[in-house]
Structure 1
Amino acid sequence: MDSTGTGRAFIGSFTTAGGRGIITASVDPKTGALTELGATDAVANPSFLALSQDGSVLCTVSETEDGALAAFDVNGTLPRPAGAPVPVGGESPTHLALAGGHVLSANYGSGSVSVLPLRGGELGERVSVLRHQGSGPRTERQEGPHAHQVLPDPSGRWVVSVDLGTDSVRICTLDADTGALALHGECALKPGSGPRHLVFHPDGTHAYVLNELEPTLTVCRWDAGAGTLEPVGETAVVPDGEYTETYASEVVVSHDGRFLWAANRGHDSISVLALDESREKPALVTTVGCGGHWPRDLALDPSGRRLYAANERSGDVTWFDIDPGTGIPSRAGSIEAPAASCVIFG
């Protein structure tokens, strides 16, 4: 955020599909409107982005067959590369997260998680790679492991990785000194569901796994003391009869923990789910249009009052005002962003 109170957004995209790399935009503090400031294509396919805790370093995957991570200095108006991209030792990294002074990537193509140190704003050579094992019943998509997301839990004690190919979530420990990632346990989910992304509830005791191969949300209890994840229920994220060619992509939870939103590609919608006091029985309230085609990512702005959808195939980021009583988003505007895949704020 600059001296005027205006925030910034960073939009990732697929350069091999006509994207412009990383687009930087200003965020109007009153309306949430995005205005482009510039773009950089210094890295191929920067499809997922994450900021360091102090907001000074922007990290991105390079979702290519060889697979790499890259860091950018964002202290100026536009991001500047902080060194060359660093290979992750895995194929097609789709997601990354920062934890324990390291950057971790989920490598979809090779079904692994890589760890690279982040020191002084620059990435070092990878220090460990944890390879997933297994497969699933849908052989066309689950012939082997496909790590799709990696993130730390709210307690900071664990790292979890979501694998679409093995229908499971792995819980790991990360050694902050060495970067070694070690498997602690694995939570099996419904065979053939194809888990894609997970979000933790603000209460720190529940997590919600969004499935891609079936448009459903799996409710789990999370025990940060033991490092265990326990599935306790499942909810559809689109109405009955509308499952065909629907591939859910991202799930976010409201800051007050009352609502969940899921993006659905093909269905081209955003699902609104209300949570009860138990946090274990999400109810599908409605779905609204995503404002474009093929919503790959959803993000809340820092205030929690607006929701942004990165619509990959229509090439835009659309934003919505959220009704605080119902959780239902209403379209407020959009910005052109070819092959958009991710939006974050900082």
Structure 2
Amino acid sequence: MKQNYIVYTGSYAAAEEAGIHGYRLTRGEGGEPRLTEAFAAAGVSNPSYLAVSSDGRILYSVMEDMTYEGRTGGGVAAFRIHGDSLTLLNTRGTEGTLPCHLLPDEKRGFLYAANYMSGSVSMFRLNADGSIGELCDLKQHSGHGPNKERQEGPHVHYAGYSADEAGLWCVDLGIDRIKYYRIDEENGKLEPDEKRDIVFPGGTGPRHFVLNGEKRELMYVVSELSSEVFVIQCSGGENRILQRVSTLPEQAENSTCAAIHLSGDGRFLCASNRGHDSIAVFAVDAGTGLLTFIGRTGTRGKTPRDFCLCGDVILSANQDSDTITMFRFDEENGKIDDMDEEIRCGSPVCLIGAEER
């Protein structure tokens, strides 16, 4: 860990409670990593997913609720970052229920939000000061999957850029599909292109994805319900599943996947298991981009909803034990070693590590 980091944590909390925390990750005596709380902020309910602007000045948050100002739907919020404090700029309703992920598009001046319960994607304009403007588009998904308990309808869990950043891939756990939308910058719309949709085996429940840093036509998708990572080639209008690997040992039961992240150099991929309460690590082949399993490490906490890689440190957000645990990550071989360090934090479900400027 060559840099110091600010780590932002989102959680489930009432608006009057401190649902967003900021921690400073630094080196202590002897060079050991140290995590200390820098600030806590209230003002919005259930800020369960966060994103930081590229210049580090604005923090965006979902408000994972069923209602917003008396209307059906959750919300999104923008905060100005002032060193060790946050100032709420504004909030907007998503017109979709339980928003669980958001993506700021500063280049084009938009913000996208994935609404889990209603199965929709919201698109907002961004104002010059970073605050959130009007809702300019809302795309509703339809359909269902074979899992009657979890896939009774569409459940959009994530929105991320395509390899050329001209479109959005919107991951729908409920219909086993990643839907593609071209971003119409001029009109502020999302234009569907079903030919570029990615279809998954029934009941796998895709949740999040990351793109290979060098071979951006390769997508790594974590499937919540089947606890797998899919390697998908998504270039030239053709999408093919190249590999699928389990994140769990054969005997494991009652576990679902949550987060997926690449190491800073792209050589390793990690995914978290809720129930098994572990992080699985894979080596990424430099030539093919395919994965080779390295090992798993227990998170010392229940339900690792998210984790973040900060150089040679991994932090795990353990939702159901109210802890953030710290581990050493070997950037040469991908192995994780326990540091026996943790801090208390109420229901942490999102971790965003940003290098301190």
TM superposition score normalised by structure 2:
0.89
In structure 2, relative to structure 1, the CA distance for the partners of 1:227 and 1:339 (3 Å cut) is farther
Number of matched residues? 336
Unmatched runs of 5 consecutive residues or more in structure 1 = none
Aligned residue number for residue 157 of structure 2: 148
Aligned residue number for residue 10 of structure 1: 8
Aligned residue number for residue 60 of structure 1: 61
Aligned residue number for residue 338 of structure 1: 346
Across the aligned residues of Structure 1 and Structure 2, the Cα RMSD in angstroms comes to: 1.9
* Whole-angstrom distance in 1 between the partners of 2:147 and 2:120: 19
Aligned residue number for residue 211 of structure 1: 223
In structure 2, relative to structure 1, the CA distance for the partners of 1:308 and 1:153 (3 Å cut) is farther
- Structure with the higher strand share, 1 or 2: 2
Unmatched runs of 5 consecutive residues or more in structure 2 = 68-73
2:152 is paired with a residue whose SS is coil
1:74 is paired with a residue whose SS is strand
Which of residues 97, 110, 115 in structure 2 aligns to 1:91? 97
One-letter amino acid matched to 1:102: F
Paired residues for 1:249-288 under 5 Å: 249-288=258-297
* Whole-angstrom distance in 2 between the partners of 1:341 and 1:227: 35
Aligned residue number for residue 171 of structure 2: 162
CA deviation string 1:127-176 (max 9, x = no partner): 10111122100111111110000111343222111110010111111123
Paired residues for 1:218-257 under 5 Å: 218-223=230-235, 226=236, 228-242=238-252, 244-257=253-266
Which of residues 138, 153, 157 in structure 1 aligns to 2:147? 138
In structure 2, relative to structure 1, the CA distance for the partners of 1:89 and 1:163 (3 Å cut) is same
Aligned residue number for residue 116 of structure 1: 124
Deviation at 1:257, TM superposition (A): 2.2
* Whole-angstrom distance in 1 between the partners of 2:148 and 2:16: 30
* Whole-angstrom distance in 1 between the partners of 2:4 and 2:264: 21
Aligned residue number for residue 33 of structure 1: 34
Aligned residue number for residue 21 of structure 2: 23
One-letter amino acid matched to 1:170: K
Aligned residue number for residue 182 of structure 2: 173
CA deviation string 1:293-324 (max 9, x = no partner): 100012122xx322221110111122221112
1:197 paired to 2:208 = yes
Whether the 8 Å CA contact 1:158–1:227 is kept in 2: the answer is no
Deviation at 1:79, TM superposition (A): 1.1
1:313 is paired with a residue whose SS is helix
CA deviation string 1:37-57 (max 9, x = no partner): 221121100000001111111
Task: Name whichever of 165-174 and 269-278 sits farther off.
Answer: 269-278
Aligned residue number for residue 197 of structure 2: 186
* Whole-angstrom distance in 2 between the partners of 1:111 and 1:317: 30
One-letter amino acid matched to 1:54: D
Deviation at 1:17, TM superposition (A): 12
1:51 paired to 2:52 = yes
Deviation at 1:32, TM superposition (A): 3.8
In structure 2, relative to structure 1, the CA distance for the partners of 1:77 and 1:227 (3 Å cut) is farther
- How many percent of aligned residue pairs carry the same amino acid? 33
* Whole-angstrom distance in 2 between the partners of 1:310 and 1:228: 36
Which of residues 102, 105, 121 in structure 1 aligns to 2:110? 102
1:322 paired to 2:329 = yes
